[in-house]
Structure 1
Amino acid sequence: MKFAGVVCFLASVVAASIAHAADPSYVGSWKFTSALVAPWADPQHKPDSAEQARLMGKMVLVKAKEILGPRPFACAKPQYKLTDYGADMIFQGAFDEMQHSSKKADPKALAASLGFTGDKIKTLETGCEIDFHFVDDATIEAGLNDYVYTLKKQ
């Protein structure tokens, strides 16, 4: 009987360890720290800065089954999917579209100008309006209305 109790206890410890290890790295609090006009924005029209001002300093809480935060970053029922994209596919393929318009627009150079390195960029697809692109484990970027927003993990 003692042996069964010990086995049961060890099994629960192992299960808890596995569950903790499986926690996605994107879960947690993320703070808007900066924004800049997106490379794809029309240089003839300055984007409205009201949204940028509204978001700066605010938090986005990414949870296992919801995203809390200011609109449009909040999401009641996200369908998470982690994907490795090439530079041409981040920001819903904006850099690829730019390259189709002008061969001088190099997706890798555009991504590098925003801090991305390497050939693959980890992206969290949310199934909602916004996807998050990882610059590193503590920094994500998201595109919205001709701005690129940087969020830092808290």
Structure 2
Amino acid sequence: MDLCEECGFGYDAVAPRDVPGRLGEFAARFTEALAAVVDIRARPAPDVWSPLEYTCHVRDVLRVQAERLDLALHADAPEFAPMGRDELVVTAAYNRQDPEAVLAALGSAAAVLGTAFAALRPDQLERIGLYPWPEPVPRTLLWLGRHTVHEGEHHLMDIRRQLAQDRA
């Protein structure tokens, strides 16, 4: 995936030097988005996550991507384990978590991952790992960074979509 049909995010539009800063912005942007939503635990439909669930997911994506980045720096062409995104929303009880703690953890995870990407050399950005979703595909660490930025942007869009429904 290099272009998201749903949100219009183009992976190539994010320069390698911009990945750390884009990741670092997520703490403030998710805090602002959640503050605008009437009920952060409300699901607009049974199969659509709540704003809090999307925020928990992004926090966990940031954590998992940091682990994957580290693995790819220390092993040649590692196979990344699936994160179990749909299972985590239930097993980790995303909708019962404390929003302030979630936002703090998201901020910490974004800072850690942003710092890790800022430290990468161009040759390291080209290291490969076997990314598991939606099917196993070899991906560079640059793609991993861009994909993580996409995850945050896409789920901010999901939260804003719910905000628009709340206002309607």
Query: Greater Rg, structure 1 or structure 2?
Result: 1
Bigger share in strand: 1
Q: Which TM-score applies when normalising by structure 2?
A: 0.29
Bigger share in helix: 2
Q: Which TM-score applies when normalising by structure 1?
A: 0.31
Report 1 or 2 for greater relative contact order, CA contacts < 8 Å, sequence distance ≥ 6.
2
